């Protein structure tokens, strides 16, 4: 296992190309939360020729719907949801400039191919450790679709969010690698 690699947003193609499936990563900077319905709405906006409600270039999308913040907390528990549900909406977002996705679980062949094509990366946050992950969040702000409640699009500023590289831009897939060993 290589030592933990520190990366920051916005993500560059070069930063993504330095990563390999199985690397542990510590990510700092801004990430954008979006999950099921938000993905549909973002892609509909792109199809209409409209922009995204955040700077797309080098953006990292976190498939997450956090718990409400208890009094005195910046955010409630926050962690990844299962990523495959966002597969049908991921390629247009990568084309628009998004360069990283944080979630958990397997991606489709089309998404893995697009990750290669756009020199992007798919990172796993550990599922079910959302109390721990919430401590990495230093700012939390709703950017779009507040009516979606826990599924609203938010900008989270994170410090040292612990992640693992699943799909690197070289075509490697951690989940497949471990099974073939």
Catalytic site residues?
A: 39
CB 156 within 8 A of CB 133: no
Identity of the residue, 13 or 164, whose beta carbon is nearer to other proteins in the bound complex: 164
Q: Is 65 in the site for other proteins (CB under 8 A)?
A: yes
Nearer of residues 9 and 134 to other proteins, judged by Cβ: 134
Hey, which residues between 94 and 113 contact other proteins (CB under 8 A)? 104-106
| 166 close to 124: Cβ distance less than 8 angstroms | yes
Binding other proteins by CB under 8 A: which of 50, 51, 82, 95?
82
Interaction between residue 68 and other proteins (CB under 8 A):
yes
Q: How far is the CB of 36 from other proteins (least distance, A)?
A: 8
The answer to whether 142 contacts other proteins (rule: CB under 8 A) is no
Residue 76 binds other proteins, judged by CB under 8 A: yes
Q: Is 1 in the site for other proteins (CB under 8 A)?
A: yes
149 binds other proteins (CB under 8 A): yes
| Residue ranges binding other proteins (CB under 8 A) | 1, 22, 24, 36-37, 64-70, 73, 76-79, 81-82, 84, 104-106, 124, 126-132, 134-135, 148-151, 162, 164, 174-175, 177-179, 181
């Amino acid at each position: 296992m290589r030592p933990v690699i520190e990366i920051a947003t916005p993500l560059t193609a070069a930063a993504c190309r330095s990563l390999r499936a199985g690397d542990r990563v510590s990510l700092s900077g801004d990430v954008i939360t979006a999950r099921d319905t938000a993905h549909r709405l973002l892609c509909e906006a792109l199809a209409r020729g409209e922009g995204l409600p955040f700077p797309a270039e080098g953006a990292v999308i976190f498939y997450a719907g956090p718990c409400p913040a208890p009094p005195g907390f910046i955010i409630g528990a926050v962690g990844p949801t299962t990523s495959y549900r966002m597969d049908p909406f991921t390629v247009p977002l990568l084309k628009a400039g998004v360069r990283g996705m944080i979630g958990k679980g397997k991606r489709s062949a089309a998404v893995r191919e697009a990750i290669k094509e756009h020199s992007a990366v798919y990172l796993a946050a550990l599922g079910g450790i959302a109390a721990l992950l919430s401590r990495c969040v230093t700012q939390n702000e709703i950017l779009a679709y507040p009516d979606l409640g826990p599924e609203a699009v938010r900008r989270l500023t994170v410090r040292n969010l612990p992640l693992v590289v699943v799909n690197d831009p070289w075509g490697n897939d951690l989940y497949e690698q471990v099974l073939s060993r």
